[in-house]
Structure formats: C-alpha cells, structure tokens
Structure 1
C-alpha cells in the first residue's frame, strides 16, 4: 500500500465529518422542508464539502471516479491510494 502523510488523513476525516452533517441535514429536511435555518446550514456544509474535496484532490488526486471528479493529464485515478485503501 502507498504511504501518505498525516495531512491526507486529516483532510479525509474533515471531508467525512462534513459529508456526515450533510447527510443528517438532508434527512432532517425530508421531514422539515420549510426550516430555513436548516436549509442555510445545509447549503453552507455543501459549499464547505465541495471546497474541501477540491483542496484534497488538488494535492492527492481524485476521491471518486465516474464523473464526480476531474482528472488532470495523465489520468490519476490509479496513482494515489483510494479512500478505501487507507
């Protein structure tokens, strides 16, 4: 398995935590669709997640494939450890 630095794990953990909040807010909003404060919070976390993923991918390469992440040339999907490998 490829070795990665500590920052890799820190960024990945922050992405996972942020996406967990998004999931929980999504479930809450399914039953409380008019809660404006929750919608604002949801949108803030979505924006944060997108920025974290963009930052992570600029340093370590794609997090996902199948159209969710851009790839520079050359193709980088197989160059870094995949999230499930660490």
Structure 2
C-alpha cells in the first residue's frame, strides 16, 4: 500500500478527537438534558466535526458509507485505506 501524506493522519486524528468530545458530551447530556451551555457546546462541536469531515473527504475521499458521505464521480469508496489499515 502507498504511504499516505502526514496531513492525512493529522486530519484524521483531529476528526477522532472532536468525535470523542461529541461522545462525551452526549453521555453528559443524557444525564443533564437541561444544561444549555453543554447543548451549545455539543452543537458547536457537531458543526465543527461536519466541517472537518467535509474538508477531509474533499481531499482524501469518503470516510463513511451508506449515505453518510457523498461520492465523487469516480466512486472512490474503497480506494483509500480502511480504518484498520492505518
């Protein structure tokens, strides 16, 4: 397999970190549903996560399948490494 650029790993790590924050905020909000500040944080991080994923996919291809990521004209799903390959 071809070596991927360092930027690929950096962007992927940033996406994983933001998604971890979203998981933690989700768990917190499950028990504190009236915490307006936490809801605002969740919404900000959710929007940021979408932006990061869109930028990643534009440069490196789709991250998810089953309608969660759009495909380019070449149907490049599967041309980038699977998560367990990196």
Unaligned runs of 5+ in 2: none
Corresponding residue for residue 17 of structure 2: 17
Specify which structure has the bigger relative contact order, considering alpha-carbon pairs within 8 angstroms and separated by 6 or more residues. 1
Corresponding residue for residue 59 of structure 2: 59
Task: Confirm or deny that 1:5 pairs with 2:27.
Answer: no
Q: Is the 8 A contact 1:29 1:39 kept in 2?
A: yes
**Equivalent residues in 2 for 1:25-44, closer than 5 Å:** 25-44=25-44
TM-score by length of 1: 0.96
Please tell me the root mean square deviation across aligned C-alpha atoms, in Å. Answer: 0.8
Could you tell me how far apart the structure 2 residues matched to 1:20 and 1:70 are? Answer: 23
TM-score by length of 2: 0.96
Unaligned runs of 5+ in 1: none
Q: Write out the 4+ residue segments of structure 1 that deviate beyond 4 Å after TM superposition.
A: none
